[in-house]
Amino acid sequence: MAGAYNDRDGHIWMDGKMVDWREANIHILTHAMHYASSVFEGERAYNGKIFKSREHSERLKRSAQMVDFEIPYTVDELEAAKVEVLAASGLQDAYVRAIAWRGAGEDMGVASSRNPVRVAIAAWEWGAYYGDAKMKGAKLDISKWKRPSPETIPCHAKAAGLYMICTMSKHAAEAKGCSDAMMFDYRGYVAEATGANIFFVKDGEVHTPEPDCFLNGITRQTVVGMLRDQQITVHERHIMPEELEGFEQCWLTGTAAEVTPVGQIGDYNFEVGSLTRDVATRYEKLVRE
């Protein structure tokens, strides 16, 4: 499947039924388009099975509650819909996008309690998020934008509006020849990349930012569990920018990114070392079990 995302063959699940891909449209006065009242999940299927599917569905429901709306489907109904979508796609390995949003209705101001909540699920083929970075390591810029304080946003929701500064940061990074950007948080600590969590290695131990103001990714949690099962020390803590110079290895984690080595962040360089390669290999094996 290739081409513009609105002009493809296939079907998308919308509001309880499968519709033709090209007919999966919404009205221009949809509330989410104007006020970002939308939450979503990115998931991957391997060998016909969505990895950590139920955890993603549960998080979608929680995210909606954090931004003050209820998804009108149970977790079981969302799970059944994803199975239906994956079967209709004909794909064994696929990216799956579930999204819920406040639709068009009686309200068109900031408040929208009378508007219906709508849900859609689509699946498509999507290869490596960072291209050939899995071999040589991704190159990251350092964003001028910071992850905001939990007092200003529902930072643990996977909500569309929280990605605005991520889009801007990634565009700026790509203009410099980078794959992505690393962001600091509102206090100046290392936070994450625009769509992935970040890990560092020093003296055989792993260090990763404490997710107290950004999303604690499902892939991140999976990798932390894998490392601890191997008796590798993992420090979840606040990391200062000046510490970047002392780290030897670095990688990113996320559903789209999977486990991607990082070779450079700004002026700091990292080796694609044995631990990074081992984590990537183990993760690839785990998701296909």
Question: Does 158 qualify as catalytic in the annotation?
Answer: yes
| Cβ contact 137:262 at 8 Å | yes
Report the distance separating Cα 24 and Cα 7, nearest Å. 10
| Burial (0-12, 13-18, 19+ Cβ within 10 Å), 5 | exposed
Supply angle C-alpha 130, 131, 136, rounded to 5.
90
In the set 61, 134, 139, 158, the catalytic residue is: 158
How far is the C-alpha of 219 from the C-alpha of 41, rounded, in Å? Answer: 12
Return the active site residues. Answer: 158
